[in-house]
Structure 1
Amino acid sequence: MVDGTCAPEFAPLRDLLTKNLADGTDAGASVAVIHDGELVVDLWGGEARPGVPWREDTVVMTWSVTKVMAALTVLVLADRGDVDLDSPVADYWPDFATNGKDGVLVRHLLSHTSGVPGWSRPVTVEDLLDLERSSDWLAEESLWYEPGVGSAYQIVDHGHLLDGLVRRAAGRPLADVFRDEVAGPFADDFMIGVPDDQQDRCADLLPPPPSGVDYSKLPPDSFLLRTMANPLLLPEACNSPDWRRGSVGSVGGHGNARGVAQIQAAVSHGGAYAGRSLLSDATIDRVFDVQASGLDQVLMQPVTWGIGYGLPTPSAPAVPDGRTCWWSGWGGSVVVNALDSRTTVAYVPNQMASHLLASPRTDTYLTAAFDCVAAL
């Protein structure tokens, strides 16, 4: 039921994936660990769709794990001097300066402290797929709160904000820069925009159980309602060819655990992995500059934000302390870069759980992986 490779020292991860697939905790999933330059775990199993096995090259939408791929793209541009993290966004995207946003810095976009966590106008799923139009609407948007004063998770518009920046700084869409200059040889295993000839590789998302949250009790001006419900993006819509073809850099990336880990391992391995050098030590250090720490106004949970990544926080107890950066996607996908041990761990399922920052299933995979690392 479980295929792939696993170093003997990491056998507990194979056992866990086998158990979860057998008892229905997972429908289809992949798990990968890169440690000290080696892909020591590359496992997959279960079903991508009813009657279709999860194969080595199966990919699935990873929701907000996409955000750290988009953020890594901007960090690569910053490392090259094409973008200054401390400069106003309007230096690259002049129209963004309207309605008081002239003080929004590039690092504010990356750390979810921009003051623009969503659109005030009604937005449809179809609008999201028209990146230039919906990004232009963000350029017209007024601030929801003062930039840099706490975080409000850019749950859907994060990719549009970064795409608007990258288009002007690099002259190409973020998805293209990511594919060609960041993902490189691993681009087939993580895509922001799935080409038509690759769509048969996609696993179908299976929706999570009800969260139990009574959204009707939230005030209508709640940031959570204003972002999550505008537009309401449901798993069923995300299984469509049009959505998969789109390049929404906040939630629309498709990948497997191996692809996620191989791209992100440059962060945990001093800026370089598998012969490709992406980041200098100085740029990696900037990831750990705390930009906000406390209750996020959208997630309504405590989050510590560095530049482009979440940092260890009590609301994600399985993420190890230390020099660690990470992020997770709705439903359970996760990637954790632990620089102290030169380790990247990724888990990508198609059966969604009730999961925003953490959940028992994802935490169990992370705990098993880092227990194995600690025992080496």
Structure 2
Amino acid sequence: MTTEIHGTVAPGFEAVRDAFATNWEMHGDVGASVCATVDGEVVFDLWGGTATFDDGERDWAEDTIINVWSTTKTMSFLCCLLLADRGELDLHAPVATYWPEFAAGGKEQVATRHIMGHTAGLSGWDQPLDTVDLLDHDKLVGLHAAQAPWWEPGTASGYHAISQGYLLGEIVKRVSGRSLGTFFDEEIAGPLGADFHIGTGAEHDERIAHVIPPAAPLGADGGAIDEDSIAYRTLTNPTVDASFSSTPEWRRVEIPAAGGHGNARSVAGIHTLTANGGKANGQQIISADGLERIFEVQAEGIDQVLGADLKIGMGFGLPSPMLPLPNPHTCYWGGWGGSLAIIDMDAKLSFSYVMNKMGDTTTGDPRGAGPLLATYAALMS
């Protein structure tokens, strides 16, 4: 299958368009966008295919947005890094400094850095949950405040797949007096004019593409996994059906680890500041030193939930055997099903790929990799 690709490509980056188009021919893509900036300037902004809505099929348009799952986490990280840069949040101080109830269950010394680095031992909940509980921030943070860690904090990573967002959201609220979604909108997305939302209003519904779920819900393929394992307990309580993200209830609430809505343009646009010392669209949002905190390694080795060999900095993933990126000063994260944000500070590159048809993996997808490799080839030519 071929599809018409829309958008713009700067001279020298034409191969990215070809690689993006190949996703339909080789990988069955349905609707997607890909965008990158270099030195703060857009070098390509492309989209194509169709977006699935309640009333049938529409073309994926210039302003189509989609739930990007864990790519949302990168926005939560920026919120915490910005508060730290302003001296309002100490990433190494106990979380209980800002959220006293969190000290229960032996968590007196658990710091924000442990949550950002997936080493806090809070990758899931002890109490059995239903999917609808994901809409109840106060319930979930209350349960975690009382809960003991599942392993000794700081000793290893275990992907806090959905819990991370509630935990960071509560910290941001305690420190700033604003919800994470509001803080992000007022301090980052709004000033940059970026079309990315954590808590997405009804006025955007008509242009939101429906997620096309993978073959199985997250964690549902773990039948051979030990039911007492951290991986099983993390991914199956509750088991998340991706189709739930197309409901108004999911869109409206703030789920800062998995519920953000945007497109490649907005993800790449926001991380233009990450790639360029905190500056984008002529505005200095965060200092370059504040962004260097990303490279403070929090965990390195086999993640207890994903089973992948990861190197995790202050929130963002760092180059590792699983993702051997060309430049060392690079950070990244991706979303369930294939969305991706790559920020290469050496090349001053911000790259993003976003799609509606989810792949079956949480740890990489060839549809984002092809355009990314073509981008690096263009930069090196």
TM-score, structure 2 length as denominator? 0.94
Given that 1:333 and 1:346 are in contact with CA atoms closer than 8 Å, whether structure 2 keeps it comes out as: yes
Instruction: Answer yes or no: is 1:316 the counterpart of 2:312.
Output: no
Alignment partners' CA distance in 1, 2:26 and 2:361? 19
Distance change >3 Å, CA 181–CA 168, structure 1 → 2: same
Q: Deviations over 1:353-375 (max 9, x none)?
A: 12212132222222111111222
Aligned equivalent of 1:30, options 29, 33, 46: 33
Instruction: Answer yes or no: is 1:227 the counterpart of 2:234.
Output: yes
1:143-222 alignment runs, 5 A limit:
143-186=149-192, 189-209=195-215, 214-222=221-229
Alignment partners' CA distance in 2, 1:321 and 1:299? 24
Given that 1:21 and 1:45 are in contact with CA atoms closer than 8 Å, whether structure 2 keeps it comes out as: no
Given that 1:315 and 1:358 are in contact with CA atoms closer than 8 Å, whether structure 2 keeps it comes out as: no
Deviation at 1:188, TM superposition (A): 5.2
Instruction: Answer yes or no: is 1:121 the counterpart of 2:127.
Output: yes
Q: Determine the structure 2 residue equivalent to 1:265.
A: 272
Instruction: Answer yes or no: is 1:342 the counterpart of 2:342.
Output: no
Alignment partners' CA distance in 2, 1:67 and 1:254? 12
Q: Deviations over 1:246-288 (max 9, x none)?
A: 2100011111000001111111101111122222222222110
Q: Determine the structure 1 residue equivalent to 2:46.
A: 43
User: Identity of paired residues, percent?
Assistant: 41
Alignment partners' CA distance in 2, 1:352 and 1:365? 17
SS where residue 268 of structure 2 aligns? helix
Q: Determine the structure 2 residue equivalent to 1:302.
A: 309
Aligned equivalent of 1:139, options 136, 141, 145: 145
- Structure 1: segments with no counterpart, 5+ residues: none
Deviation at 1:91, TM superposition (A): 0.3
Alignment partners' CA distance in 2, 1:305 and 1:40? 28
Aligned equivalent of 1:292, options 293, 299, 307: 299
Instruction: Kindly provide the amino acid, as one letter, of the partner of residue 260 in structure 1.
Output: V
Q: Deviations over 1:79-107 (max 9, x none)?
A: 11110111110000000000100110111
Instruction: Kindly provide the amino acid, as one letter, of the partner of residue 9 in structure 1.
Output: G
Distance change >3 Å, CA 125–CA 4, structure 1 → 2: same
Aligned equivalent of 2:5, options 2, 7, 11: 2
Q: Determine the structure 2 residue equivalent to 1:244.
A: 251
Q: Determine the structure 1 residue equivalent to 2:263.
A: 256
Deviation at 1:22, TM superposition (A): 4.9
- Structure 2: segments with no counterpart, 5+ residues: none
Instruction: Kindly provide the amino acid, as one letter, of the partner of residue 42 in structure 2.
Output: L
Q: Determine the structure 1 residue equivalent to 2:16.
A: 13
Q: Determine the structure 2 residue equivalent to 1:279.
A: 286
Instruction: Kindly provide the amino acid, as one letter, of the partner of residue 65 in structure 1.
Output: T
Superposition CA RMSD, Å:
1.6
Aligned length: 374
Aligned equivalent of 1:328, options 323, 334, 337: 334
Given that 2:157 and 2:299 are in contact with CA atoms closer than 8 Å, whether structure 1 keeps it comes out as: yes
TM-score, structure 1 length as denominator? 0.96
Instruction: Kindly provide the amino acid, as one letter, of the partner of residue 314 in structure 2.
Output: I
Deviation at 1:208, TM superposition (A): 2.2
Alignment partners' CA distance in 2, 1:188 and 1:161? 24
Instruction: Kindly provide the amino acid, as one letter, of the partner of residue 147 in structure 1.
Output: P
SS where residue 336 of structure 2 aligns? coil
